[in-house]
Amino acid sequence: MIDKIRSADRRRVGVLTSVGDRWRALTKWQQAIGLAAFVAFLYYLPLLGVPGLTWLRTDSIEGGNNWAGVLFVCAIYVLVAIGLNVVVGLAGLLDLGYIGFFAIGAYSVALFGSVNSPVVKWIQQEFNLPPTWAVTWAICLFIAIVLTMISGVLLGWPTLRLRGDYLAIVTLGFGEIIRIVARNATGLTNGPVGISAIPGPEGPPSVDNKVFGLIDAKPWYWLAITFVLIMVILVRRLEHSRVGRAWLAVREDEDAAAVMGVYPFKFKLWAFAIGAALGGLSGFLFGSRNAFIDPTQFNANLSILFVAMVVVGGSGNMIGVSLGAVLLAYLPERFRDFADYRWLVFGLAMVLVMILRPQGLVPSRRRARELKDRAADAEEVPAHV
């Protein structure tokens, strides 16, 4: 039985490797056409009506949620997974409090985007104009990214000298601190009551909004997927830069990286800051779309789910973590037919994935090679005995 499992793992890794090799063997224009077709399909998804694929739509089942709304959540989770993959997958830091950055991004647009906020008053005073919601929303986006980056630095500066479980406990406490502060600071965050009428690019939710309203989620999905594609390009370039190579060195062996001239603390702090910025961006979009937030939406369970996206998808591989995020956002909606049992089915599916694919659904090439080497070593041991 063990030999069968090992051979099955080797076949899966071989398939993934061959697909990657075939893609890299294509010419530049063939890759460009393939990428363009894939991006076009992503933008077409809310309108999905291809015969044979309509069963994928969640609004085709009884009690299912709006299809475009589910796609928007998938896009937000992909953005979260990409940011957390920088911290967990590339730098090798276990962050269980990522929900804190997500909450800071959501509260940034809620607090600074309201009618009486300092941002709106500053636009009125400086430009002597009534506030333009698109400009206000863009400024709030910048504020959310800056605040979350600063939060990442403030959290990482005293804690990144810790390793392993100790770092995980500290980050988990950070996420809970943000939630408790949001619940108790009633004068600032309105406490458990929450904040409503959070503006989008066209202002607070209203029947006058022609594009970004509350009912039609398609424009929100197209906006979110645009941010996802931009962040994928930026993070990919960062991964192949000197900073990305330093992250990989620190992840594999921090002491050896320090001996080779890589300052681990600086690059771990960079990973925390960049990951926090992506978490703040996703929270910002989440708050703008929902138009209402309260502290109960930012609990520790959601933070653990964020980590599960990275682990299930394949830590260190952007395609893998994106797939994990989509599955973990989509499957609970797809299992709505099971009513109260859908979370049981969802949990069993996760357990099976971790048993059969402990390295993730789509592991990074480095991890795939490690798996192949371990399998080869396991076969050689009986021969010597």
368 pLDDT band, cuts 50/70/90, is low
Question: Does 311 map to a domain?
Answer: no
Question: Does 366 map to a domain?
Answer: no
pLDDT on residue 131: 58
Return phi, psi of residue 307, to 5°. -65, -40
Question: Does 116 map to a domain?
Answer: yes
Of residues 207 and 265, more confidently modeled: 265
Question: Does 221 map to a domain?
Answer: yes
Interatomic CA distance for residues 232 and 226, integer angstroms: 10
Residue 196: its H or E element: strand 195-196
Q: Residue holding tokens 């793992």?
A: 9
pLDDT digits (tens, 9 = 90+) for 286-335: 999 988 899 999 988 899 889 888 888 888 888 889 998 998 888 878 77
* Residue among 102, 82, 98 at smallest CA distance from 287: 102
What would the mean pLDDT of 94-101 be, rounded to a whole number?
91
6 pLDDT band, cuts 50/70/90, is very low
Return phi, psi of residue 57, to 5°. -65, 130
Task: Indicate whether 211 pLDDT > 70.
Answer: yes
Q: Which domain holds residue 181?
A: 69-297
Burial class (CB in 10 A: 0-12, 13-18, 19+), 43: middle
Please tell me whether the overall predicted TM-score, pTM, comes out greater than 0.95 for this model: no
pLDDT on residue 276: 94
Task: Indicate whether 65 pLDDT > 70.
Answer: no
What would the mean pLDDT of 230-241 be, rounded to a whole number?
92
Share of the chain above pLDDT 90, in %: 30
Question: Does 291 map to a domain?
Answer: yes
Task: Indicate whether 20 pLDDT > 70.
Answer: no
116 pLDDT band, cuts 50/70/90, is low
Dihedral sign from CA coordinates of 153, 360, 248, 141: negative
357 pLDDT band, cuts 50/70/90, is confident
pLDDT digits (tens, 9 = 90+) for 31-53: 889 889 999 999 998 887 666 66
13 pLDDT band, cuts 50/70/90, is very low
pLDDT on residue 195: 87
pLDDT digits (tens, 9 = 90+) for 128-177: 655 577 778 888 899 999 999 999 999 888 888 887 788 889 999 999 99
Expressed in angstroms, the distance from the first to the final Cα of the chain is 20
Task: Indicate whether 2 pLDDT > 50.
Answer: no
Question: Does 79 map to a domain?
Answer: yes
| 292: three-class secondary structure by DSSP | strand
Question: Does 169 map to a domain?
Answer: yes
Question: Does 187 map to a domain?
Answer: yes
Q: How many domains does one find in the chain?
A: 1
